[in-house]
Amino acid sequence: MTTTTTADLRNPAQLLAALPYLIGFRPAKSAVLLGHRAPGGDRTGLVLRADIPRREDRARQARALAPRLAAGRHTGVTVALIGGRRRSGSPPPHAGFVKHLKTALAEYGLPV
C-alpha cells in the first residue's frame, strides 16, 4: 500500500491529481486553498474549497476565506483554481481573484 504525503504534492500535477482525494470529490469551477503548517510548511493543514465568485464578489470572497486559514496557524497557502479558459494574449482565467486572495492572505502574513 502506498500513501501520498505532502512532500509528494510539491509537483503541481501531483497536487491537482490529489485534490479529489483531499476534498472528497472532483472540483469544478472551484478555488481550492491548501494551508501549509509548520515547522517547515511541508505539512498539509486546512483545505478549503469555494465556488469561483462572480467578478463583483471576488474581493468579498477573498476576505471571507483568508481568516479561516489564518486561524489555523498556517505558514503559507497554495491556491488552485479549477475552471476557465485562457484566451490568447490575455491573463490567465481568474487572475483578478488570485490578486484579491493574495492581498487578503497577506493581511494575515500568509504568502501564496
Quote the cell numbers at residue 96: 483578478
CA distance readout (Å), 86 to 10, 41, 82, 95: 24, 31, 12, 10
Torsion sign across C-alpha atoms 24, 27, 31, 34? positive
* Residues 34, 4 contacting (CB under 8 angstroms): no
* Residues 30, 50 contacting (CB under 8 angstroms): yes
The pLDDT tens digits for 45-82 are: 899 999 999 999 999 999 999 999 999 889 999 999 99
Q: CA nearest 81: which of 64, 107, 58, 108?
A: 58
At residue 14, does pLDDT exceed 60?
yes
* Residues 59, 100 contacting (CB under 8 angstroms): yes
Residue-level pLDDT at 12: 82
